[in-house]
Amino acid sequence: MAEGKRIDTTPLISLITINYKQAVVTCDMLESTRSLTYPRFEIIVVNNGSNDDLAERIQQGNYPHVTLVESTENLGFSGGNNLGIQHANGDYFFLLNNDTIVTPNLLEQLLIPFSKYPDVGVVCPKIRFHDEPTIIQYAGYHPLSQYTGRTWAIGLMEPDKGQYNQPGPTWFAHGAAMLVSREVLKRAGSLDDSFFLYYEELDWSARIRRAGFQIYYQPDALIYHRESMSVGKANAMKVYYHTRNRLWFMRRNVSGLPLLIFYLYYFFLALPKALIQYSLPWQPTYLKAVKDAIAWNLTHTTKPLASVPMPVAVAGN
């Protein structure tokens, strides 16, 4: 019998990134992907309502494996990634910020937990700051308080001395870099477009875990991140979406007494503090952003929570 055609069983990884008026930054990331040693991946670049010269730069740079998807409008982080997923063919989807730099064995290391643990649905690398390459930005997430709506990254701003080199389950994925299995999309859905920007990965993580998956931190995978390149360190848009989506996330993922306590905390402590913070130096655009964010929540209703509540513990942590 004639020998059949060999089938490549190496998983295909679809690397998805979003460009918004940052063609040079995006191409810096694409340049770094030349060093990737994983043998089978594609790159989907979503030009997110951006009128820069990204297409010309990609053509001139002759970047391998790249498909450019043009969106006539800015769909935000959630919508842009969802559009990229629609054009992807992978067994796994690697959502990666355009303002990152990858390391050579990144993809191989991210795949390891999937082969070891069948309930793993998302794997995130260790993230260090690009401009301070020994300082940690993310080594997993602490639990989220259902009473304040706050969480924070493990290791944030600490020098990396190997203190977080133990892999394991974590509470939330980091939106800058997350490898997601196709099975997650089948069972938990994709990012929710309503968030647009900020808190979307926390909401997705909560839904992914309610669907029975683990989110895993893999320290042997590493990227470097230029934080807040897209929207800057502070501006009215950032204030608006942080305020709006913090409330929106809590309304979607917390209920009963914890949600009531959160409302009391937020409207009697956190919100007055923010108003004072923006009033004393007189920042009217920030005050308007807060007002608009609250008004948006007053005019939007949430769907009922899934029958399984948001997990409050992670095995092994």
Q: pLDDT per residue over 180-226, tens digit each?
A: 999 999 999 999 999 998 899 999 999 999 999 999 999 999 999 99
User: Once rounded to an integer, what is the mean pLDDT over residues 255-278?
Assistant: 95
CA dihedral 276, 293, 23, 64 (to 10 degrees): 130
Do the beta carbons of residue 215 and residue 122 sit within 8 Å?
Answer: yes
Give yes or no for residue 2 having a pLDDT over 50. Answer: no
One DSSP character per residue, 131-168 reads SSTTBEEESSBPPPPTTT----BTTTT-B-SSTT---E
**Which tens digit of pLDDT belongs to each residue from 120-171?**
999 999 999 999 999 999 999 999 999 999 999 999 999 999 999 999 999 9
**Rounded CA gap, 70 and 52, in Å?**
12
Within 10 A of 170 (CB to CB), how many other CB atoms are there? Answer: 27
Say what the pTM is. 0.89
**What pLDDT does residue 63 have?**
82
Residue 52's pLDDT is what? 86
pLDDT, one tens digit per residue, over 32-47 is 999 999 999 999 999 9
Mean pLDDT of 14-31: 95
Task: Please check the confidence at residue 231 and state whether its pLDDT lies above 60.
Answer: no
Task: State yes or no: pLDDT of 260 exceeds 80.
Answer: yes
Answer yes or no: is pLDDT of 176 > 50: yes
Residue 306 has pLDDT above 70, yes or no: no
pLDDT digits (tens, 9 = 90+) for 77-106: 999 999 999 999 999 999 999 999 999 999
